[in-house]
Amino acid sequence: MEIRKELPEIFKSFSEARQAGFISAKNFKDAGNPLIGIFCTYFPQELALAMGAVTVGLCASSDETITESEKDLPRNLCPLIKSSYGFGKTDKCPYFYFSDLVVGETTCDGKKKMYEYMAEFKPVHVMKLPHSQDQVAKELWKQEIIKMKEVLEEQFAVSITEEKLHKAILLKNEERKAMKEFYGLCRQDPSPMTGMELFNVLVGASFDFDREALPSKIRDLTQKVQEEYQIIQNNEIKPRILITGCPMGAATAKVIKAIEDNGAVVVCFENCTGVKAVEELVDEHNLDLFGALAEKYLNIGCSCMSPNTKRFELLNRLIDEYKVDGVVEMTLTACHTYNVESLSVKRFVQQEKGRPYTYLETDFGTSDVERINTRMTAFIEML
């Protein structure tokens, strides 16, 4: 039988960080600090840190503004693009409202065209992301990062020196190390936390604007969860699930709920909202700072890359390290790159790793909750 103490209050603070962050964003802006809205993990956040700014994720995951966005955008477009555009257009997202600059990237054609419309009501800069990860591509991405630095310096009348940038690299690496220690707790069997608890911290940490204090906050949480785990009497071994695929948000958390309501536990998120952007550090000893940033960020295994070898290298390691019993791939409707790549993921998981795999395509609505629940029931029973 499981005897579980109340989770430490710090857990709750992370899960509520996105809502509480609205006030923090206003206070941050009122103090005269720049706020940069981003849509993707490819943006080198060290640039913002080096100029005293913070970044905030603008990808929306609610269908609240999709009707409004469809007045400008096609109905059969990815819901993440429509939702993000809709929240910006209607000013219903405080983070978008407070952002001095929005940075986009060319990860998909739909987002590229959406940014053109968004630029009509918000300052937007689009980074031209290469879609391969060879040395030529890394040099191109390095030049885009340098260009991004120059745009920030001009727009905000600041100087991003190498000293400031190196300090930012060290700080961001500390945050990544702390986060890796935290989600690494789930390598233990049974897992010391649910997938929903893990997810709330992964998402909530990105809305904590005190970046210097964030690593110690995460490490405090890690220590408290581990201490609690040591005294839990828990003999129940549950099937261990890894989720991969599109970025996850509040709406798509219905997949996590369906998995865990049916007797399994999510121990790892390979998604952008999970370990994908955190696993690799920036080389702190590389004197070519922009080259080091290009190397780290371009190694992220997004489905926009061709071939996308980095994703499979990471999946291979995560499945082993987290003792994964089954893989659930969640993609969004009309997200063409992830939907097409799902066949390769299925082959890899089933044939090379010998693990069960299932695929879910969803959107930000609630009409498919029962369908997802039925699918997860059958998948977990099979495990």
Q: How far apart are CA 238 and CA 256, in angstroms?
A: 14
pLDDT at 181: 98
Residue pair 342/312 in contact (Cβ under 8 Å)? The answer is: no
Q: How far apart are CA 242 and CA 187, in angstroms?
A: 11
Question: Is 205 a member of any domain?
Answer: no
In terms of DSSP bridges, do strands 326-332 and 357-362 run parallel, antiparallel, or are they unpaired?
A: parallel
Q: In the Cβ-directed half-sphere of 359, how many Cα atoms lie within 13 Å?
A: 16
Q: How far is CA 359 from CA 328, 330, 332, 342, 368, in A?
A: 6, 6, 11, 8, 14
Tokens linked to 248: 């996850």
Q: Cα-Cα-Cα-Cα dihedral of 250, 254, 260, 266, to 10°?
A: -50
Low-confidence stretches of the chain (pLDDT < 70) are 1-11, 13, 15, 17-19, 232-235
Question: Is 296 a member of any domain?
Answer: no
Provide the CATH number for the domain around residue 128. 3.40.50.11890
The count of domains in the chain is 1
Q: How far apart are CA 243 and CA 253, in angstroms?
A: 11
pLDDT at 176: 98
Q: How far apart are CA 230 and CA 379, in angstroms?
A: 31
Mean pLDDT estimate for the chain: 93
Single pTM value for the model: 0.94
Sign of CA dihedral 287, 289, 292, 294: negative
Instruction: Provide the 8-state DSSP code for 6.
Output: P
Tokens linked to 86: 């809709």
Collapsing DSSP states into helix, strand and coil, what is residue 102? strand
The residues, ordered by sequence, that sit 6+ positions from 361 with a Cβ below 8 Å of its Cβ are: 330, 331, 332, 333, 339
pLDDT at 3: 42
Element (H, E) at 311: helix 309-321
Question: Is 50 a member of any domain?
Answer: yes
Angle at 348 between CA 346 and CA 349, to 5 degrees: 65
Tokens linked to 7: 């989770």
Residue pair 109/117 in contact (Cβ under 8 Å)? The answer is: no
pLDDT at 1: 38
Residue range(s) defining the domain that contains residue 121: 9-162
Question: Is 168 a member of any domain?
Answer: no
331 pairs with which residues across the strands? 361
Beta strands in 34-86 (DSSP E): 35-38, 54-57
- DSSP H stretches of helix in 101-242: 109-118, 135-156, 162-183, 195-204, 214-231
Question: Is 32 a member of any domain?
Answer: yes
Long-range contacts, 306-312 (Cβ 8 Å, 24+)? 306/131, 306/132, 307/132, 308/341, 308/344, 309/133, 310/133, 311/270, 311/276, 311/341, 311/345, 312/344, 312/345, 312/348
Question: Is 258 a member of any domain?
Answer: no
Q: How far apart are CA 237 and CA 103, in angstroms?
A: 44
pLDDT at 117: 98
pLDDT at 22: 77
Collapsing DSSP states into helix, strand and coil, what is residue 378? helix
Question: Is 42 a member of any domain?
Answer: yes
Question: Is 203 a member of any domain?
Answer: no
User: Tokens 């790892």 correspond to what residue?
Assistant: 268
pLDDT at 21: 72
Q: Which letter, b or e, does each residue of 185-221 get, where b requires 16 or more Cβ atoms within 10 Å of its Cβ?
A: bbeeebbbbbbebbbbbbbbbbbbbebeebbebbbeb
Tokens linked to 179: 């986060």
Tokens linked to 338: 């992830």
Question: How do residues 36-65 score in pLDDT, each as one tens digit?
Answer: 999 999 999 999 999 999 999 998 888 999
